[in-house]
Structure 1
Amino acid sequence: MTDLTPEDIAAARGEGDLVALLLMAAGISPAKPPRQRTTEPDLAPLDIPHPGAWPTGTRRAAPGPTIPGPAVDAALRDYRRWLLADRPPASTHCPCHGCSLGGKA
């Protein structure tokens, strides 16, 4: 069987074994019959861990309180002074609400 007709190809497509027909026409015997899909694939969501990602079913914490504008400006001025002073050692105590939970550090 070396000559394929369009009818042979159409019949093989209808039966789902076109690859096997083409292999046989080339003189190669297929190692095993082609596997036919019997069921639809399972499309359930997967729980794949990703480093640094939130676990499935959780969400990030609520945002912190809004920091007033004058406090932001004061912190920025303080940071700029610190940079201009060649970054001297600083204390680790910060009185702002976001850093010390209301100044209760």
Structure 2
Amino acid sequence: MTELTPEDIAAARAEGEGEVVALLLLAAGLPVNVPKQRVSKPAVPSDNVHISHPGAWPTGTSRPAPVPAPPGPQIEAALADYRRWLVADRPHASTNCPCPGCTPEGSR
């Protein structure tokens, strides 16, 4: 490339300012050092907004699933057992419940 025509310059201007500079450098026989394009990391929007609330579930977790209702025969058996206990004038139960709400030493 030795000569520039007005059409070449007009086409370079249509491409952008950097193209005119590159065209002139090539016409002068100089190397064109094209700067590397900056690659910006796309900002990934987070769906996880953390607002601390005392006593709230930690961020990213959820409450446990609800306990399913017991089947009908199990409910009837428990009611029958309770009624027998009431009719027998509430005798001392010999069961050992591990629940800390039932027995103070149940959590041991």
Q: Same fold (TM over 0.5)?
A: no
Greater Cα radius of gyration, structure 1 or 2: 2
Please state which band the TM-score falls in when normalised by the shorter chain. Answer: 0.3 to 0.5
- Using the size of structure 1 for normalisation, the TM-score is 0.33
- Using the size of structure 2 for normalisation, the TM-score is 0.32
Greater relative CO (CA pairs within 8 A, separation 6+)? 1
